[in-house]
Amino acid sequence: MNEMAMRAPGACYAGLAYDSIGSGPAVLLLHGLSYDRRIWSPFVTQLVPNYRCIAVDLPGHGESPDLDSPDAYHPVKIADRLHALVEHLGAGRPLVIGHSLGGALATFYAAAVSVRGVINIDQSLRLGPMATAIQHLRQELSGPGFDTVWAQMRSGFGIESLPEQARALEQMLSHPRRNIVLGFWDILLNSEADALQAYVDAALGRIGAPYVSFHGTDPGSGYQDWLRARTKSAQLVYHPGAGHFPHFVDPGELIGLIRDFAPAK
């Protein structure tokens, strides 16, 4: 393996802590809100013999510092940071994989720069209704009700159905911090729902790479047709009942998708 591929883990660039491990086609891994890059460790172990895995701590998570204002958490600005990191690493056109919040960020990343493909894990991009729901919870989220709201949301993740090791990893890494959650949700809290959805639709329309939306929770009636109307190459993979972490319930599905996008050399 070359020196770039074997870069020591735990580095930081553009305000993003990351590991870059292995060699081969680059896979950029983006975790969900309240977790950190270690959530990908079971997959990195499987991938590193044939892939270069770049696992990132999003701002305010893991070893990445907080940002100085809610506006700095805008998905386009985070995508710019991610692209700066990818260019710094000389990683070319990565396959971008994101879970939950990471799936939304992967989408905005692919709308801005050329990528090998996108795998969005359990993040619906019908964000208008989500914005409306989050705005109704503004007072609770901003006050002492934050922990209760977060616990209620997390109770719907299907964590109890995860394999034991995955469940333990999720429980160890879940550390929601109100200022970080509100930072990433600033776009939801302060956008008119229809305008936000139009903004997301426009981003989807700029994606030219293959796009897989991999769900364990029901994305809603007609979601595949809705998504394909905006991103022509989109494919829906749905495992009913797998919950918010379908890649942990069926890791072979995700590994297979990665190999379809980027055959191992």
> Is 210 contained in some domain?
yes
**What is the pLDDT, as a whole number, of residue 265?**
63
> Is 3 contained in some domain?
no
> Is 158 contained in some domain?
yes
pLDDT tens, residue by residue, 72-85? 999 999 999 999 99
> Is 1 contained in some domain?
no
How many domains are contained in the chain?
A: 1
Domain around 245? 11-261
CATH number at residue 231: 3.40.50.1820
**What is the pLDDT, as a whole number, of residue 3?**
34
> Is 6 contained in some domain?
no
Place of tokens 């977790």: 35
> Is 64 contained in some domain?
yes
**What is the pLDDT, as a whole number, of residue 241?**
92
Q: What is the pTM of this model?
A: 0.95
Strands 16-21 and 52-56: antiparallel
pLDDT by position in tens, the chain (length 265): 333 333 445 799 999 999 999 999 999 999 999 999 999 999 999 999 999 999 999 999 999 999 999 999 999 999 999 999 999 999 999 999 999 999 999 999 999 999 999 999 999 999 999 999 999 999 999 999 999 999 999 999 999 989 999 999 999 999 999 999 999 999 999 999 999 999 999 999 999 999 999 999 999 999 999 999 999 889 999 999 999 999 999 999 999 999 999 887 6
> Is 4 contained in some domain?
no
**What is the pLDDT, as a whole number, of residue 262?**
83
> Is 208 contained in some domain?
yes
